[in-house]
Amino acid sequence: MKDDQDWIPDATDLAWIESIAGSVPEAAAAIEAAAAPLDVPIVDRHTGRVLAALATGRGRIVEIGTAYGNSTLWMALGQPADGIIVTVDPDTERTKLARGFWRQAGIPDERIVQVSAPALDAFGDADPRLAGPFDLAFIDAIKGEYGAYLDALIDAGRLADGALVVADNVLWSGRVSGARPSGGGDRSTEALRAFCSRVAADPRFQTTILPLGDGLLVAGWRGAQ
């Protein structure tokens, strides 16, 4: 039980965690350096380390949204040596750079399969690379489409029993909870709020949200009830 109900972790706590977590992989640091000047959205180090831990022992992973491949990298580092990640993103300029970062980290090309298409198109076309079943699905793409991504994973049987569904940005800088105001017609906030409520209420999932980075939903798939 938490001793102090008024205390929440702050920058000092995060810095301490960072101090004992070990060095950041050079390739991850290179991604951070490349993404920052262009405001390319990537997961932070704390989220990356959680993804690596969640990927431990999970042989097949699907990722929706690649960007510069930072989350892909962290998950690949946590996976077994023969693990496979299928990552989906239509922006080939970014994903070409991502491949270079993965190579820098020593990850063999065959371990990361790139699908260069909008995710819903690739799912709808029944791309065989996305057939599954997957042991972990990481969602970090168009916020308004999170619910549709989940449908594509569930309805086509792409989730293995015991799989994890992990989604980033679910707190949306405080706008989803209402801690910060969102403008009228903010469809991303509305979609994320609906997505979180839906997964939390679905008895087929065991769900929680970690107040980490921009909010990380983690849901364990129980299978059809």
- For the chain, what are the domain ranges? 40-221
* Contact criterion met (CB below 8 Å) for 145 and 138: no
Predicted TM-score (pTM) of this structure: 0.94
Q: pLDDT for 107-139, tens place per residue?
A: 999 999 999 999 999 999 999 999 989 999 999
Q: How far is CA 89 from CA 34, 69, 86, 98, 114, in A?
A: 18, 10, 10, 11, 8
| pLDDT of 9 | 81
**Which residues of the chain are under the pLDDT cut of 50?**
1
| pLDDT of 14 | 84
* Contact criterion met (CB below 8 Å) for 20 and 49: no
The H or E element spanning position 94 is helix 92-104
Q: How many CB atoms lie within 10 A of CB 163?
A: 25
| pLDDT of 22 | 86
In CATH terms, the fold of domain 40-221 is Rossmann fold (3.40.50)
Q: Which residues face 131 on adjacent strands? A: none
Coil, strand, or helix at residue 72? Answer: helix
Coil, strand, or helix at residue 188? Answer: helix
